[in-house]
Amino acid sequence: MSWLAYSCLLVLHFLYSIFTFIRAFLDNFRDIPHPLSHPRSQIPSHLALVLVPDDDTDHETAEDCLIESVERAAEWARKVGIRRLTVYDRLGMLSRSAQHIRNKLSIPAKTVVPDSSESELEYPLTPPLSDEADSRPVSPEYEARDVNLAVTTVCLPDPQRLKTAPKKSSVKRRNQKKITSEQSPPLTLHFLSRGSSKPALASIARSHLRTQSRYPTTSQSLDNFHLSQQELNSTLEGEQGFPSPDLLIVHRISPAKHNQIPLELHGFPPWQIRLTEFHHEPPTSPWNWSWLRTSSDPICTPLDEVEFRRALDEYNRAEMRLGK
Amino acid sequence: MSFTFIERVQKFARWVVERVYFIAEDAALAVLAAGPIPKHIAFVMDGNRRYARQQHKAIQQGHADGYVALERMIEICVKLNIRCVSAYAFAIENFKRSKEEVDALMDLAEAKLLDLCEKGSILDKHGVRLHVLGRRGLFPQRVQVAIRKAEEMSRHNDRVILNLCMPYGARDEITTAIESTVREALRERREPRTISEADIESHLLTSVGRSPPLDILIRTSGVKRLSDFLLWQCCENTQLQFTSTYWPNFGLWDFVPIILDYQRKVWSSSSAHKRVFRKGNKRL
């Protein structure tokens, strides 16, 4: 009977494929999402983008496509008023290309390390970028030595403002609220990889162990070691880390093998996605599906504006109840 | 006389429809079980209150119907030989709800946990081992007693693991896991460089209960967030499925496409591995 059940299962999968094919085809005729300039009551202040290449994709092609996706996302984010953009790819191709992306997006650009209170500290131009910045104590007792959160942060001032504003060489602290109507808020970019995820949490554990190991170990001292969510959060979302995104878009840059692929997070840091809204779209163009193409060369599809706008519209409709 | 005859015909027709439905359900499950089956599925049982409002029922009734849906899905998962089921029954944040609703949920939790201890309950019938994951100390004493009783009664069962996450928060779980990792390492005098993510993972509540890795997380009611549920467990190789169905209405026919998606992933992965091996492609 198992062969009968298996045969029926194959038939069921065939019917399901037809159903999803038709649904994907009809998705091409969905309502067009509102334009970027459309007023929305809810706009994410922090957007995350997970870019997923295929294992079969050529490295160089994938990297070019990832970079193009980031450039597009940065441009649209600025237009909409999103002030923070986090981009993640599992293998860290974007982190390694952060300098190149920075140069392309903003000339000249300044590297800053924003804190979570939204006020910004500007340093004089001092490349290179660093993803292993020296740590700072988060409490008098604990010093986050050698914590490696593997987050590369870049702050990009608005290119329009840079053309007209005088250069300032001294360090200054700028309150966000004092930005005039002539200035656009800068865009902060965080580049993440798998190393920013669970390995970062392990790095924090090692750091705490090093701190605690300095003291004599007794059963009482073991019981006295407590780690609070607030402390862990201040490390992960602090200067070396990145804050929780409001909206996360998952985009596959390689053609899919099926027309219905559920959302996966591909190792995105778990701590920061507690209340994040997710958005991903199945591939709607059947002619991109790998099994329909005649050419053996894989094509890459950067993030497109329609998908971006649709994510914003969906976020605009989301209701946050926060447990209530 | 004719009225009684009509009633009997209607009753017979309902019985036939029910039998056909049960046979179709069992047949569908047998067909699905012929392919790859996930080992661990998690449910965010969202939408009980909106369901109740839609049906013009009291909120408490919505939660009660939600429990019926949970039992229904556990039976389906057992028939599919799914090894582990996790359900987000109560978030730490849910204590912010009105006292009336929280008290009603505590009453429901106590009553259902005691029901689970009875002979013939779903735990007994299907060999389900219950784990309650979360800060149970936040619950009233009566609920804690009911939890201990249900866990004790089912601790020798080994066919299916049922994780009821309540009151649960994933960040709380991760924080506690890191704290436990550091304490254990201090006790064992381990070198810091030997601490890895695997150590933290071993101290998670799901690992302590020997749950397999999470394959699918399903959230009902159309919300596309995790809301502090199994963040560590679902950020890697887990399919996240969001359905607009409210939880009390969720059933087999909502579940079938989710299982089909999982099977396609497993079959794709195995054929991708063979293709890469054959072609010797340069992999990322």
Say what percent of chain A tops pLDDT 90. 49
| CA-based nearest distance B227→chain A, Å | 5
**Cβ contact, residue pair B91, A258, below 8 Å:** no
Q: How far apart are CA A113 and CA A226, in angstroms?
A: 29
Helices B59-79 and B2-32 cross at an angle (nearest 10°) of 50
Q: Give the closest of A5, A55, A233 to B31, CB-based.
A: A5
- Mean pLDDT score of chain A, rounded to an integer? 78
Q: Is A301 a domain residue?
A: yes
Q: Which of residues 75-134 of A touch B (CB under 8 A)?
A: 91
Looking up tokens 């009566």 gives B142
More confident residue, B276 or A77: A77
Render pLDDT for A248-289 as a digit per residue (tens, 0 to 9).
999 998 866 555 689 999 999 999 999 999 999 876 555 445
Q: Residue B269 — pLDDT band, cuts 50, 70, 90?
A: confident
Work out the number of other CB atoms within 10 angstroms of the CB of residue A285.
14
With contacts defined as CB-CB under 8 Å, which chain B residues touch A16?
257, 260
* CA A314, chain centre distance (Å): 18
Q: Is B95 a domain residue?
A: yes
Q: Residue B31 — pLDDT band, cuts 50, 70, 90?
A: very high
Do B26 and B72 lie in one domain? The reply is no
Q: Is A92 a domain residue?
A: yes
Render pLDDT for A12-24 as a digit per residue (tens, 0 to 9).
999 999 998 888 8
Residue range of the domain that includes A97: 40-107+149-158+184-213+245-323
Q: Residue B284 — pLDDT band, cuts 50, 70, 90?
A: very low
Q: Give the closest of A57, A202, A222 to B187, CB-based.
A: A222
Instruction: Answer yes or no: is pLDDT of B33 > 90.
Output: yes
Mutation test of the interface with chain B: which of A196, A223, A227, A260, choosing the one with the most B Cβ atoms within 10 A?
Answer: A227
**Cβ contact, residue pair B175, A209, below 8 Å:** no
Q: Residue A296 — pLDDT band, cuts 50, 70, 90?
A: low
Do B112 and B237 lie in one domain? The reply is yes
pLDDT of residue A312: 95
Instruction: Answer yes or no: is pLDDT of A108 > 60.
Output: no
Q: Is A261 a domain residue?
A: yes
> Is the bond into A35 cis (omega within 30 degrees of 0)?
no
Do B114 and B199 lie in one domain? The reply is yes
**Cβ contact, residue pair A323, B97, below 8 Å:** yes
pLDDT of residue A128: 40
Lowest average pLDDT, out of A61-65, A100-104, A217-221, B137-141, goes to A217-221
Number of domains in chain A: 1
Q: Give the CATH number for residue A48.
A: 3.40.1180.10
Q: Residue B263 — pLDDT band, cuts 50, 70, 90?
A: very high
**Cβ contact, residue pair A212, B186, below 8 Å:** yes
Instruction: Answer yes or no: is pLDDT of A182 > 70.
Output: no
Work out the number of other CB atoms within 10 angstroms of the CB of residue A39.
7
Q: Give the CATH number for residue B47.
A: 3.40.1180.10
Do B86 and B19 lie in one domain? The reply is no
Q: Give the closest of B93, B235, B258 to A322, CB-based.
A: B93
Q: Residue A115 — pLDDT band, cuts 50, 70, 90?
A: very low
Q: Residue B148 — pLDDT band, cuts 50, 70, 90?
A: very high
CB contact A8 to B (< 8 Å):
yes
**Cβ contact, residue pair A13, B224, below 8 Å:** no
Q: How far apart are CA A120 and CA A117, in angstroms?
A: 8
* CA B126, chain centre distance (Å): 15
Q: Residue A48: in which H helix or E strand, if any?
A: strand A46-52
Q: Is B281 a domain residue?
A: no
Do B47 and B79 lie in one domain? The reply is yes
Render pLDDT for B221-234 as a digit per residue (tens, 0 to 9).
999 999 999 999 99
pLDDT of residue A321: 61
Helices B59-79 and B252-279 cross at an angle (nearest 10°) of 40
Render pLDDT for A193-210 as a digit per residue (tens, 0 to 9).
999 999 999 999 999 999
Q: Which of residues 212-271 of A touch B (CB under 8 A)?
A: 212-213, 217, 221-222, 225-229, 232-233, 257-258, 260-271
Do B110 and B76 lie in one domain? The reply is yes
Q: Is A87 a domain residue?
A: yes
pLDDT of residue B153: 92
pLDDT of residue A171: 41
In the three-class reduction of DSSP (H, G, I as helix; E, B as strand; rest coil), residue A71 is classed as helix
Query: Are the C-beta atoms of A83 and A45 separated by less than 8 Å?
Result: yes
Q: Is B247 a domain residue?
A: yes
Lowest average pLDDT, out of A49-58, A71-80, A125-134, goes to A125-134
Q: Give the closest of B175, B235, B284 to A227, CB-based.
A: B175
Q: How many CB pairs under 8 A join A and B?
A: 184
Do B136 and B252 lie in one domain? The reply is yes
**Cβ contact, residue pair A267, B235, below 8 Å:** yes
Q: Is A223 a domain residue?
A: no
Q: Is B71 a domain residue?
A: yes
Do B20 and B131 lie in one domain? The reply is no
Q: Is A224 a domain residue?
A: no
Over range B146-153, report the average pLDDT: 93
> Is the bond into A186 cis (omega within 30 degrees of 0)?
no
ipTM for the complex? 0.89
pLDDT of residue A137: 35
Q: Is A135 a domain residue?
A: no
Instruction: Answer yes or no: is pLDDT of A313 > 90.
Output: yes
Q: Is A62 a domain residue?
A: yes
Number of domains in chain B: 2
Q: Is B270 a domain residue?
A: no
Q: Is B18 a domain residue?
A: yes
Residue range of the domain that includes B7: 1-34
DSSP secondary structure of B59-119:
HHHHHHHHHHHHHHHHHHHHHTT-SEEEEE--BGGGGGS-HHHHHHHHHHHHHHHHHHTST
**Cβ contact, residue pair A212, B182, below 8 Å:** yes
CB contact A299 to B (< 8 Å):
no
Q: Residue A7 — pLDDT band, cuts 50, 70, 90?
A: very high
pLDDT of residue B101: 86
Looking up tokens 């849906």 gives B69
Q: What is the pTM of this model?
A: 0.85
| CA-based nearest distance A43→chain B, Å | 16
Do B189 and B236 lie in one domain? The reply is yes
